[in-house]
Amino acid sequence: MLGKRGFVLEDEFGDGGGGESTVRESKRQLTFESAVRHVMTSLSMQEVASNLEPFVRRVVREELERVIELYMHSSSSSRPTLNRYGTSGSRGWRLHFMNKVPDAIFTGNRIKAEDNGAIKIVLFDVSSGMIVKAGSLSSVKVEILVLNGDFGCDAEEDWTETDFDSSVICEREGKRPLITGELHVTLKDGVGEIGDITLTDNSKWTRSGKFRLGARAVRGTCHAERVREARSEAFVVKDQRGESYRKHHPPSLNDEVWRLEKISKDGVFHNRLAGGGIETVRDLLRLFARDPCSLRSLLGNGMSNKKWEAIIRHATSCPLDNKRYVYHNTGQHVGLMFNSVYKVVAATFDGFNFVSVDNLSSYQMSLVEMVKRDAYRNQNNISESFCPMIDAPSTALQLPDVSSEGLSLDGQVSNFQVAHQDTNCQSWLAASFMHTSLLQME
């Protein structure tokens, strides 16, 4: 605004010379910046103040009037108190979705929050920011609707009742109702949970390719109060048949390997892994523990570092079961204990007492590494342990360095603390090692 203001500097802004060129220059319309520069170079500070004061006062007065007008308008329309049950257009009370809807939903599935819990709706007072826990509005009845995904983009954006109503979408011609189930929620103390609701159609036919959930007070239950509607984040709705190709987060050990990120079902990487005998996430993690370079090589040159890291990151988020496996090397008198994906978690040097690999000396670790390589070459001699004392809580793998140069198994070893075994367990372990030794001799 200031940049557009212009004014004429008369002769008194000059140096008193009064030349013809000076007169023409003084009468030229100048910007505020050039005017100030001209004044500062020509006048004393006292003269500057006396000449600029009226101009500055006028600008400040105009700006203050504009700001005060905006503030008064905003205050009168957007900040009523709870005792002021407003007239039409009041923006004092707002419905709000408390938790986030997932980015993708499948038709026919119950709509839940991103944390897999029920979606919650609250009514709060804008002026105080508090949930409305008392009065008639605290138990208002709310209806759930479907909105266009492109309805608004700013969480703080306001809209009229007409704007909201025009964004409600219904089913396509010849289709079932777009949303079904428990479409009405009665708040209790200003809070409510959405029950079992489902969407029956995908969202790809809309302008944005997305839907939003909307919530509004049922007409006729709020008397004269205006309660602003709620609007969820935008999300995609996919057909139910697409769920059979969905990735699992986290994956399970028995999931088929294409459930991992960056591995498409019946795609190139899936077929390469299947050709190498890798059918499940468990198979992939076992090969990753034994020889990560072989796994990387099996996937081929088309596997970029970024994809490789994504696959390993997803796979290693898999929760492990409590199964343990043992291997005994008769020549070294060393026994190893593995978890369900064949990572070494403990070792014994007397056939009875297992010690966590975190508590081994450098010399003991060198023996463990040697026996571990022997065990990986003779996987048929690795047998499952059924000793209850060596069970540990299920845990997810710790993600190691997954650089393209290869992955260190040692960096993956979890901090399993394995206690000394009781007499019965020791006897079983001794028998297990005896059985393993006999297998090696055959």
> What pLDDT score does 230 carry?
93
> So where are the chain's domains?
2-78, 93-241, 247-315, 324-441
Rounded-to-integer distance, Cα 367 and Cα 265, Å? 41
CATH class of 93-241: mainly beta
Rounded-to-integer distance, Cα 7 and Cα 50, Å? 16
> What pLDDT score does 441 carry?
46
Q: How far is CA 283 from the centre of its chain?
A: 29
Instruction: Answer whether 108's CB lies under 8 Å from 240's CB.
Output: yes
Instruction: Answer whether 92's CB lies under 8 Å from 127's CB.
Output: yes
Rounded-to-integer distance, Cα 28 and Cα 9, Å? 7
Rounded-to-integer distance, Cα 184 and Cα 198, Å? 13
> What pLDDT score does 65 carry?
67
Instruction: Answer whether 367's CB lies under 8 Å from 381's CB.
Output: no
| Tokens linked to 370 | 């040697």
Helix (H, G, I), strand (E, B) or coil at 179: strand
130, burial (CB in 10 Å: exposed 0-12, middle 13-18, buried 19+): exposed
Q: How far is CA 1 from CA 49, 235, 298, in A?
A: 22, 42, 66
Q: What is the mean pLDDT of each run of 10 residues along the chain (442 residues)?
A: 45 46 49 63 65 74 67 46 37 88 91 91 90 90 94 71 91 92 94 94 92 91 77 91 78 94 92 96 96 95 93 95 90 89 93 90 93 93 72 40 41 36 45 47 46
> What pLDDT score does 390 carry?
44
User: Residue-wise over 389-407: b if at least 16 C-beta within 10 A, else e?
Assistant: bbebeeeebeebebeeeeb
> What pLDDT score does 439 carry?
44
| Tokens linked to 164 | 């909201």
Rounded-to-integer distance, Cα 329 and Cα 337, Å? 12
Partners of 131 in the β-ladder: 124
Please identify which residue in the block is written with the tokens 């845990």.
395
> What pLDDT score does 356 carry?
93
Instruction: Answer whether 98's CB lies under 8 Å from 142's CB.
Output: no
